[in-house]
Structure 1
Amino acid sequence: MPPTAVNERRLGERCNGRNILITGASYGIGESLAYMLAGTGATLLLVARTEEKLLQVQGEVARRGGTAHIFPTDLSKSEEVAVLTEKLLQLPGGIHIVVSNAGRSIRRSLYDSLNRHHDLTRTMAVNYFGPTQLILALIPSIEKNRGHIINISAVNVLLAPAPYWAAYQASKAAFDNWFRCAVPELNAG
């Protein structure tokens, strides 16, 4: 893997004074991104299901000199996404950047799923329906701020379908394709 480096000065210039929403902010990529952005002068808006873990991330962001607000939300529940969007749209300055990172992974054979249709509906809810509901509601604020939407996807959307991953690959591919279709419309606006 080639070495990577972040130009912290440029990152700070681009993020300072902006409201940056990160879904899936309590673990993995979302958590790491929150720590990376802590010293940029951005206000981080952290979304995940687990309030306790979000509080830990918020504390670490503060320890690193940043500001973060937490929004415990289960993106698989449409009602919770609606409440979240209302709160976000009331924030001073609106939304500048959305990092759509939340996801639910599942590896299960087709035969182990015969009586588990909820595996499909839950995975689609977190990986497709929740993010699209959230982004659709935030588009006017993002456009007003000439902001950005960043999709953290999965490499499997570029790969051939794999056994045991049907629910996960389908859900990630659904959002990825939705987003690819939306981008030209958003860029034309």
Structure 2
Amino acid sequence: MDISDLLMRSTLDSIFKVGFGVNLGSLSGCSKEGAAFARAFDNASEQVLYRFFDLFWKAKRLLNVSSEAAMNRSVRTVNDFVYAVIDRKIEQMSSDQQEFGARPGCFDNKYLRDIILNFVIAGRDTTAGALAWFLYVLCRNQHIQERIALEVRAATATGDRDVGAQEFTASLTEHAISKMQYLHAALTETLRLYPAVPIVHSF
């Protein structure tokens, strides 16, 4: 099982759902558009990384050939999807404002696109990467794994009972999470050992 890929898709879905109210469906594969966006986003991010090693990438971009032609196709797919999200949201907000007698505002779609992509870049890879390394550390240190499990059970008052995902999620209140100090320390130490952003790049 490629846990890193599952975490990447999960965090991408979460960002779009929480931030923009869009069900991307990249984890379940239920949305073709969402899956195409996720692939294009990954491909564009990977190509940006390769630019560090390709001395001729600017010439390729100028001529729109080879890897830079693929990069342009990926960026076009990303833009099409994000602009569609923006258009739907603007239409929804305009309807809501007209219903309550307010005037629709003016939006710069390119600016909104940049904000959305910044959210995705900042929250997706960093969160998924940190969680993947955290799971790696737990798998190598069973005593840490057991201590975290005990702390979570105590904080959520689930004890030794086997609870379902819905009940467990409901028990993860802000108060319960604030009592998970060892878990917080373990996550922080994981970030120290394996930084979420070892290098910074953008497209």
Shared fold (TM-score, shorter chain, > 0.5): no
TM, length-normalised to structure 1: 0.31
TM, length-normalised to structure 2: 0.30
